[in-house]
Chain A
Amino acid sequence: MTITRREFSASVLAAAAAGTMPGAARAAEGGKTIALMFDAFDSDFWITGNTILKAKAKENGWTTLETISNRDQNKQNDQVKAMVERKVDGIIFIPTDNNAAIPAIRTANAANIPIIFFNRPPAPNDNKYVAIQADNRKIMQTTVTILVDLARKQGGKYKACLLMGDLGDNNAVQRRDGALDILDKNKDLVEIVSRVATEWNADKTFAGLTNAIQANPDINMLISPSDSEDTIIEQVLKTAGKWHKTGEDGHVMFAGFDGDQNGYRLLSTKYMDVNGVQNLFYEVDLAYGAFKDIWAGKQPDKMLIDPGFAISQATLESKRDDMWGYHVWKEKNK
């Protein structure tokens, strides 16, 4: 195949024109620029978090740049350097590893760019950063307290399966500890017969819960560390003939966590009894409030806590507006 000189020149000009377009668009942007640096979009929580972060940035007149590292902390640390080159005004950072993220803080500090860890704080260190974190332990304590109270009113004894997430993630560790704090005080009512480390992996959740029910067919209480596992739990319980609503014979008392659209759906259809909700809207407000303070020369606290809340079937109507998953569900079910 031969290429004429004219065709070659036209291709080069087209490529050069395509290359200038992003630059021209960037020249038109004004105001602050925030880098949203995620490690993965592996659950509704992060997808919705990203949406809320972008929407609230837009409300503030800010532009956002996004990166995802696909759980490669080394890549994410390099991405911070790229964002520093792009001279962003602030960084929202969701790390994969709380130890290995520390070099990224130093990079941001050296460039005098505020860095805010969103929902996953770094390992303790002396560099300048702000971390927004849900008080996972307290939220889970409140959630399991409500679950245990409901169980006590119902009567009988309970055999519980505790799903634990990825114990390399501090959030999962706190949720586990929060659940155990309450269950250990109620051993007269609840016996933990199985603990499953799901590693936030659908296959491991499926296999682990299936094995737990095979080994303990009379499991009648289930505590999940994340609503991202709800559809798997539903599948397993249906297969085992244990998927019943509150009030029906054989109902497995079920506590979820996160407050996503599945959590809302299961609460409203009475398969789930209580859900621990991270207040994503509040966490974004905390983050952007911290940026404004830093830009104004103030230094916010290093750790800003989202106290979250628990929502049950009884409080569904009154509290659902603060539940981020309700809004996602409402949007999808218009």
Chain B
Amino acid sequence: MGGVLPASSGGALSRPMRLVRLVLFSDYLVLALTVLYVAALWFAVPEIISPTNLNDIFLQVLPLFVAAMGLMMVLLVAQIDLSATSIMAMSCVVGASIMTSQGGYLAGHALAPVAAVLAIVAIGLLIGVLNGVCTIVFDIPSFLVTLVTMMFFSGAAIWYTAAHTNSGSSIGALPSSFLAIGYGGIAGIPYAALITVGLAIIVHLMLTRTVFGRWVRAVGLNPSAAAISGVPVKRVVIGCFALSGLFAAFAAVIYTARLEAGTPILGQRILLDVIGAAVIGGVSLFGGKGSVIGVLIGVLFLSAVDNGLQLLGLSLSSVYAIKGGVILLAAVVDAIRHHLLARG
């Protein structure tokens, strides 16, 4: 299965060039590269295809996929959200402070985990709305708005944690019913997977089957034309930022359950992974293009690269250089695609 090739501008293309264009515009290029990468690494580290390692990759993918889906919504309307990881940090420490058995607001209460999850989600939503309102109502570039909220909520998370712990570094002693989200499951399916698949289905249906989904793509492709056509551009953009915050919060729920602690530096190092996964998965930085399947493929690729490099035992600087190069390549390919599509 492949994407539609843009019509040629005239003159016959050579066979290799036609092949290059076919590959470049294929929606499954990255999936093919992922399989090739794993196959190539198998010679050096056969453990990469062991059932436990594949299970580890699968579990690593889940929260990153959730966060990347949220970011996709913002990228679809040609904006950016740099605060996603700070939303994770802020929401997780607030949630942890509610349910921790060490002096939590609802310590020992049966509904503490539920209240905590609701609080985490609410914080994500509110910060997302704040980002959206500042961007579209006050007409401040989203880069600046979300950079500021990233800094503010990163600091707020550290302050909040210090105010709620003796050690100041994280809030642990979380109830086992909450931790089950990280490691537990039903009929062999992890709860985290159920949450992730559920969210993915909702986003996919929203984008492909609802008016809102069409509005999102219209705003991303051409906000002026969308406005003239009657699309409520401001509400759509705010909605996308709200979804980004919401999904960052859901990712925080899974990460917090996995780490068994609310930590103010949660997600601090994965912003590039979240954005990179979306871009590698075909979400255009210019807006209007992206899909849930594409994001999943991007996340799979990035997680496989990370896992493979860890198994190889390469130094951190090598890992960063390789991952950075891969994400840069994906962004360049996206720009080339955008340019070729515009030329027709």
Which A positions have Cβ atoms within 8 angstroms of B? 2-3, 15-16, 19-23, 26, 65-75, 77-79, 81-82, 84-87, 96-100, 102-103, 123, 167-170, 173
Contacts and interface: CB of A to CB of B under 8 A. Distances in A.
Contacts of B312: 22
Given A23-B43, A78-B56, A73 B311 contact: no
B310 A99 contact: no
Contacts of A82: 53, 56, 307, 310-311
Nearest to A15: B40
B243 to A, nearest CB: 23
A79 B60 CA distance: 11
B97 interface: no
B269 A23 contact: no
Given A70-B316, A74-B266, A78-B310, A2 B14 contact: yes
Interface in B47-67: 47, 50, 52-53, 56, 60
Q: Which 6 A-B pairs have the closest CB atoms?
A: A168-B169, A99-B172, A99-B261, A100-B259, A82-B310, A68-B316
Contacts of B270: 72, 74-75
Contact of B311 (A69, A86, A99): A86
A15 B37 CA distance: 11
A326 to B, nearest CB: 28
Contacts of A3: 16
B40 A19 contact: yes
Contacts of B40: 15-16, 19
B43 A19 contact: yes
A168 B268 CA distance: 16
Contacts of A22: 44-45, 312
Interface string B308-323: 0011110110000000
Contacts, number: 126
Contacts of A123: 172
B307 A99 contact: no
A51 B268 CA distance: 28
Contacts of A23: 43-46
Contacts of B161: 168
23 contacts: A15-B40, A19-B40, A20-B43, A22-B44, A26-B44, A66-B313, A67-B313, A71-B265, A73-B265, A77-B259, A78-B310, A81-B56, A82-B307, A85-B56, A99-B259, A99-B260, A99-B263, A100-B259, A100-B260, A102-B261, A167-B168, A168-B161, A168-B167
A74 B53 contact: no
B94 to A, nearest CB: 16
A290 B171 CA distance: 30
Contacts of B338: none
Contact of A72 (B47, B53, B268): B268
B170 interface: yes
Given A3-B16, A19-B41, A19-B43, A65 B313 contact: yes
Contacts of A26: 44
Contacts of B172: 99-100, 102, 123
A74 B169 contact: no
Interface in B159-191: 161-162, 167-173, 182
B44 A20 contact: yes
Contacts of A102: 172, 260-261
B255 interface: yes
Contact of B269 (A2, A19, A70, A85): A70
B214 interface: no
Contact of A85 (B52, B255, B258): B52
Interface in B232-267: 255, 258-261, 263, 265-267
B181 to A, nearest CB: 13
Contacts of B255: 74
Interface string B3-43: 00000000000101000000000000000000000001101
B167 A98 contact: yes
A86 B47 CA distance: 7
Contacts of A81: 52-53, 56
A123 B269 CA distance: 23
Given A99-B172, A168-B167, A73 B52 contact: no
Contact of B263 (A2, A65, A66, A97): A97
Contacts of B60: 78
Nearest to A73: B259
